[in-house]
Structure 1
Amino acid sequence: MTHTFVDTNGVRLHVVQAGPIDGPLIILLHGFPEFWYGWRHQIDTLAEAGFWVWAPDQRGYNLSEKPKGIGTYGIDTLAADVVGLIDAAGRQKAVVVGHDWGAAVAWWTAVRYPERIERLVVLNVPHPMAMKQYARQNFGQMLRSWYIGFFQLPWLPETVSRLGNWAMLVQTLRKSSRPGTFTDAELQEYRAAWSQVGAFTAMINWYRAALQQPPSRRSSVRITVPTLIIWGVRDAFLKRKMVQPSLDLCDNGRAVFFENATHWVQHEEAQRVNELIVGEGKRD
């Protein structure tokens, strides 16, 4: 792996790269509260399979630039960051893989810039429109998403999260995953990323912008690129029932379920997830 910084869409992003530079480009988009390190079980395998792997810290996270203001974290801006990375790589297209918030960005990039996406792989987050419609109607999903409302508050989420050396976030990761998924040493890496100056407010601003900076209106939100949804069924945050409505919005989509995996499926079922990503990325 090599660490570099890439200018895109007015920000400088820290990007971990691996694999042959003449291989097909694959961009791995992490979610909350991770950073590039959330793909630690995927990067080497994908590189060995011949992909040129780019795993950025998305804007506001870890070592990437952290622009001030909620308005700089809207989903349209985040999708433009991805296109800027593809441009910086000198490519027309990339396979885009996203988990959690990174999956939301990947979905929206495919909506806005389908000509720049070779294939789409999303892990444990539904299509944004499917999520919006389902969450409005299902009280159980509203309860699971309680933290989104909490994150709208000024300063309090940051203050509470920092207590006890990030005890709340660590407990959330451990309780929502299978035992042993996140080791003590790995959680120290996460704490270091969360502690970067300005990082946690920027991370929370993604959630604030989701409600305060809605995406641009589109004539169609259908996904026209080939799409694979990977879903850990024991997700504590998002219900499986949103997968089919997401597939209904795809021209060419399929889903693979892991019955015993949680929201953190790429950690818990790394080998099988890697096989699926490699197979999807190389399908004709």
Structure 2
Amino acid sequence: MHTRTFEANGQRLEAIVDGPDDGDLVILLHGFPESGDAWHRQVPALAGAGLHVMAPHQRGYAGSSKPATVFDYRLGLLALDVVGLADAAGASRFSVVGHDWGAVVAWHLATTQAARLKRVVVLNGPHPGTVGMHAMRHPTQFLRSWYIGAFQIPVVPELLLRAGGHAWLRRAMEDSARPGALPQDLLQRYQAQWVQPGALTAMLNWYRALAFDPPTPARPIDLPVTILWGEQDRFLDRGLADAALALCRQGELVPFPNATHWLHHEEPDEVNRQLLKALA
């Protein structure tokens, strides 16, 4: 694995790359508050199977561009970043894997850029067009998502997340994962990325931009879609996976009964097996 910098959609995006250049392209999209390093257990497995793998630090994260305004983090722009990476790699069509916020971007791509995609794999991330209706029917999801409202406040969340060497971010990840699932060296790498100027505000702006972007249409998806879902997720209930699956004409849901939101760290071997099954 090595890191390259690409110009995509007017942004400078760093990406971890591996695998043969002439292999089928698969782009791995991380969530909050991780980076492309989240896929350190998946990149070698996919590359070893002959896939051309890119795991970008999405805009606002790590060494990638951190535009200044909230409007720069609208979902449509985040999706075009991914298309721009595929263009930079010379791929007319590609597959996408997304976790958490990366899954939201993947769903948006599947809905709006289907002609560019081959296959989609989602790990614990809701289709943005189904969240509102699901939350109205299941009010407990509002309680699980309390932090989204808190992140809308300017300045204060940055101060709280920065306090004590980003103690809240680390604790939120570790407490919601299985014990020992998140390696300490990975958390230290994240912390080094979180301290970069403008990083926390950029990461939070993904949430703040929700108010300025229309929801992704909840229309049928014809692409092959695999949903991997850790059922012990503290933030997202299983019903969100079912709601997203209902939109997929070629969909498969693979539950991980003992995994949490961080299933790619907790059960990497089985996640890799399912990724290869879906993408090969």
Structure 1 and Structure 2 fold alike (TM over 0.5): yes
Give the corresponding residue for 2:212: 213
Q: Which shifted more, 95-104 or 136-145?
A: 136-145
Cα RMSD, aligned residues only: 1.1
Counterpart code for 1:250: C
Contact 2:97 2:122 in 1 (8 A): yes
Cα 1:36/1:173, change in 2 over 3 Å: same
TM-score normalised per structure 1: 0.96
Determine the C-alpha separation between the residues in 2 that align with 1:129 and 1:166.
32
Q: For residues 127 and 96 of structure 2, what CA distance do their matches in structure 1 show? A: 14
CA contact (8 A) 2:128 2:215 kept: no
The letter of the residue matching 2:273 is E
Hey, what does 1:277 align to over in structure 2? Answer: 275
Selected match of 1:244 from 242, 265, 275: 242
Q: Distance in 1 between matches of 2:216 and 2:192?
A: 38
Equivalent position SS for 1:87: helix
One-letter amino acid of the structure 1 residue matched with residue 42 of structure 2: Q
Percent identity (aligned): 47
Distance 2:265 2:26 in 1: 18
Within 5 A, what are the aligned runs for 1:69-148?
69-148=69-148
| 1:60 paired residue number | 60
Alignment of 1:259 with 2:246, yes or no, is: no
Whether the 8 Å CA contact 2:129–2:215 is kept in 1: the answer is no
| Runs of 4 or more above 4 Å deviation | none
The 2-side partners of 1:263 and 1:74 are apart by 24
- Aligned amino acid, residue 26 of structure 1: V
Instruction: State the 1:117 CA deviation.
Output: 0.7
C-alpha distance in 1 between matches for 2:184 and 2:266: 16
Shift of 1:217: 6.9
Q: Is the 8 A contact 1:114 1:225 kept in 2?
A: yes
> Aligned partners of 1:121, 1:207: CA distance in 2, in Å?
22
Q: Which residue type is aligned with residue 268 of structure 1?
A: E
Cα deviation digits, residues 34-80 of structure 1 (max 9, x gap): 00110011011111011100000000101000011000000111111
Partner secondary structure for residue 26 of structure 2: strand
Which is worse superposed, 134-143 or 27-36? 134-143
Where do 5+ consecutive residues of structure 1 fail to align?
none
State the shift of 1:193 in Å.
1.0
> Following superposition of structure 1 onto structure 2, how do residues 27-66 of structure 1 map, counting pairs within 5 Å?
27-66=27-66
Amino acid at match of 1:58: Q
Give the Cα separation in 2 of the matches to 1:178 and 1:217.
32
